Amino acid sequence: MYFDTQSRFGQSIKGSEYIESQDVDGNPMKTVVDDDFAGNSHPVLALGQPNVFTTDKDCYIDIYVFHGSGIKEVAVSAGNGPYLSATLVDDEKTDEYGGHYRVAVSKQGIQPGSDVEIRITAIPNNGYMRTAQMKLRYTQGINVLAVGPYQSISRSIRQINKVYDPKKRNVIRLVENGNMKLEKLTSF
């Protein structure tokens, strides 16, 4: 996944899903306070889902953020829209240095098969900001290819690609236990 676009809240992402936040001129974005404790460090930022996530219903995105000076805010933007603040969840992972944040995502108004880019920015009380990206795909229905152990994985992938529907979840399901053959994965 490669994004190189600007979001509305003034950040540029350069070729990675997990980077230091930058302004539109490429300068690192930093929160600065009088106390210099942890001022030259970045927050630890991790997502509770894969960075490419497929769902067919409303969902939550779980975010885990920690920093030595604490977390001022976790800002989330979907589809290059305005940002909103994620909610801090009161659980065993949360303390004065950060913790478990969550934001609700609704499928309302999103066409099945479409992708939405989500950017999550951790803003520490003091220090550099960090941004992670993910792609969220909404689907409606399922497209299943049932295969047995005597069919190769390569052939199964070719078959699912022939009937691929971006509006549905596309699944290859092994219907019987066995050792599937691995062929050269050269042409799909």
pLDDT value at position 17?
44
pLDDT value at position 181?
60
Does residue 111 surpass a pLDDT of 70? yes
Backbone angles phi, psi at 88, to 5 degrees: -75, 125
The residue-averaged pLDDT of 77-99 equals 86
Distance, in Å, from the CA atom of 118 to the CA atom of 133, rounded to the nearest integer, reads 6
The residue among 136, 63, 75, 142 whose CA lies nearest residue 106 is 136
Ranges of each domain in the chain: 18-138, 141-188
Q: Which residues contact 78 (CB under 8 A, 6 or more apart)?
A: 105, 116, 117, 118, 136
The residue among 104, 111, 76 whose CA lies nearest residue 89 is 104
pLDDT value at position 166?
82
Amino acid identity of residue 108, one-letter, is Q
The residue-averaged pLDDT of 47-73 equals 89
| Domain 18-138, CATH number (from 2.60.40.10, 3.30.70.60, 2.60.120.650, 1.20.1730.10) | 2.60.40.10
pLDDT value at position 3?
37
**pLDDT-derived band at 21, boundaries 50, 70, 90:** low
Q: pLDDT of 118-176, one tens digit each?
A: 999 999 988 888 999 998 888 888 888 888 777 777 888 888 888 888 888 888 887 77
pLDDT value at position 150?
75
